[in-house]
Amino acid sequence: MPSVAFKQYSDDVSLLVLLLDTNPLFWSNTSITFSQFLSHVLAFLNAVLGLNQLNQVIVIATGYSSCDYIYDSSLTSNHGNFERSGTGMPPLFASLLKKLEDFVTKDEELSREEGHEDRTPSCLLSGSLSMALCYIQRVFRSGHLHPQPRILCLQGSPDGPEQYVAVMNSIFSAQRLMVPIDSCYIGVQNSAFLQQASYITGGVHHTPKQLDGLFQYLTTIFATDLHSRGFVQLPKPIGVDFRASCFCHKKTIDMGYICSVCLSIFCEHHKKCSTCGSVFGQSKLDEASSVSDKKRKAPHT
């Protein structure tokens, strides 16, 4: 088996890790239903697997409170003895859907347990990115011969600023590993995290305008393997939204204060950096106001 695999390895073998957004709060009010979305995505996965015999696909579901591996095409237990339910799914994806359903149930329980949390209706992008990177790292260490991994993030939920630090860390790890993060954003607002992820790691970011043509977008832009991207011109976004969220309140900010030691971002003046503990000196604004105070006091005395 391994020798055959060696002979068949060409430079366009890819390992695609798909991060699927299953945030119920997003899916409860979109133009496209989850089932339609799923059919586009499943057809896309089939197409990717059809491009090359050695391609691999991993699906990770990004839920509201948790993430989990849903599908791994390299596991042989996928094929075979699932009974076909009428005109339903081909057996290839039956296990995927089963696992997805189980995952959603588990996620619901977890969110119930969490209690009242004032949170943006975002999905756990940082979690799924970390899981994807762990899997890819395992693939890298498995041996000399492995497909070229990339991550595709299919998301519609808005960014959760509280995840900023974790997401940025994952992005930089991906950059280090030279794994591009592609992102397809199907939501309403722009996602700064995804734009930055694609920009920094060298992936493709696209916001499809027509969601009923999602399959076409996916196969045109995101099915290209890494080798072919050298000579295929893919659409690039006009610019990247580089806004960060502050470390203290997790708000998205344009201008703020930065610790000169660890580069943590704060929206208001602090006496001490919460990340590295370095003490900040008095800022010029404070000095000026204190001097003027002193001046005002002097004539009185």
Q: Is residue 92 close enough to count as binding other proteins by CB under 8 A? A: no
Of the pair 34, 280, the CB lying nearest other proteins is at 34
88 binds other proteins (CB under 8 A): yes
Q: Which is nearer to other proteins, 90 or 277 (CB)?
A: 90
* 38 is an interface residue for other proteins by CB under 8 A: yes
Q: Is 28 among the residues that bind other proteins (CB under 8 A)? A: yes
Does position 234 interact with other proteins (CB under 8 A)? The reply is yes
Q: Is 301 in the site for other proteins (CB under 8 A)?
A: no
- Single out the residue of 1, 4, 81, 86 in contact with other proteins (rule: CB under 8 A): 86
Task: Work out how close the CB of 178 gets to other proteins at its nearest, in angstroms, rounded to a whole number.
Answer: 14
CB atoms within 10 A of CB 293: 9
- Taking the least distance from each CB to other proteins, the nearer of 50 and 121 is 121
Least Å distance, CB 7 to other proteins, is: 34
Name which of residues 105 to 164 contact other proteins (CB under 8 A).
105, 107-108, 111-112, 116-121, 158-159, 161
Task: Rule CB under 8 A: say whether 87 interacts with other proteins.
Answer: yes
Interface residues toward other proteins, by CB under 8 A: 22, 24-25, 27-28, 33-36, 38-40, 42-43, 64, 85-90, 94, 97-98, 100-101, 104-105, 107-108, 111-112, 116-121, 158-159, 161, 189-190, 192, 195, 199, 208-210, 212-217, 220-221, 233-243, 252
